[in-house]
Amino acid sequence: MADDEERSRLLAAVESHEAELRRRLVRSGADPLFDSGLTMRQLRTLLVLGAEGPLPQGELAHVLGVGLATMTGLVDRLVARGFVERFEDPHDRRVRRTGLSPQGAALLERIASAGQETRARLLSRIDLDALRGLERGLAALRAALEQDGC
């Protein structure tokens, strides 16, 4: 029973630390994500395209769990802002694909770089023992994620 109590206490502490980290990082405004003016759905669309590459709009809608009409509106707004482009599928001219534009790819790179720089700066301030513990914890979290099939 003591292990269950300790696990509950540690999980609550981790959740509290994560919430405080998110709160402080959001308040710092140092992330280009907050300057982008993107909605969460628009950002998710860019992230999927960044990870998957160009996709037919129907497949993109399926991945994001939205209807085709909603996807069309999202893509229209992202095209108008210069973040994505539509083009013919090279193997089937009837299919229109949506992919990141150079501007969309650059935005994702700025967001990733800002996060990496902040993380590197903060991790450089952690003593070696704490860093070892963090690495073990993140490795265990990654293994749990893989066991879940992600």
Do 58 and 111 reside in the same domain of the chain?
yes
Do 56 and 114 reside in the same domain of the chain?
yes
Q: Quick one: average pLDDT of 101-127?
A: 90
Q: What is the pLDDT of residues 2-14, one digit of tens each?
A: 889 998 998 899 8
Do 13 and 75 reside in the same domain of the chain?
no
Do 75 and 14 reside in the same domain of the chain?
no
Q: Quick one: average pLDDT of 117-144?
A: 92
Residue 33 has a pLDDT of 67
**8-12, 78-82, 107-111, 119-123: range with highest mean pLDDT:** 78-82
CA–CA gap between residue 108 and residue 98 (Å, rounded): 16
Do 38 and 90 reside in the same domain of the chain?
yes
Q: What is the pLDDT of residues 35-88, one digit of tens each?
A: 778 999 999 999 999 999 999 999 999 999 999 999 999 999 999 999 999 998
- Of the candidates 23, 18, 12, 87, the residue with the CA atom closest to the CA atom of residue 57: 87
Do 17 and 54 reside in the same domain of the chain?
no
- CATH number at 48 reads 1.10.10.10
Q: Is residue 86 part of a domain?
A: yes
C-alpha distances out from residue 60 to 5, 65, 73, 128, Å: 43, 8, 13, 43
Residue 31 has a pLDDT of 65
Q: Which residue range(s) make up the domain with 68?
A: 32-124
Q: DSSP state, 149?
A: T
More confident residue, 94 or 81: 81
pTM of the model: 0.68
Contacts of 58 (CB under 8 A, 6+ apart): 68, 71
pLDDT grade for 114, boundaries at 50, 70 and 90: confident
Do 11 and 63 reside in the same domain of the chain?
no
Do 54 and 66 reside in the same domain of the chain?
yes
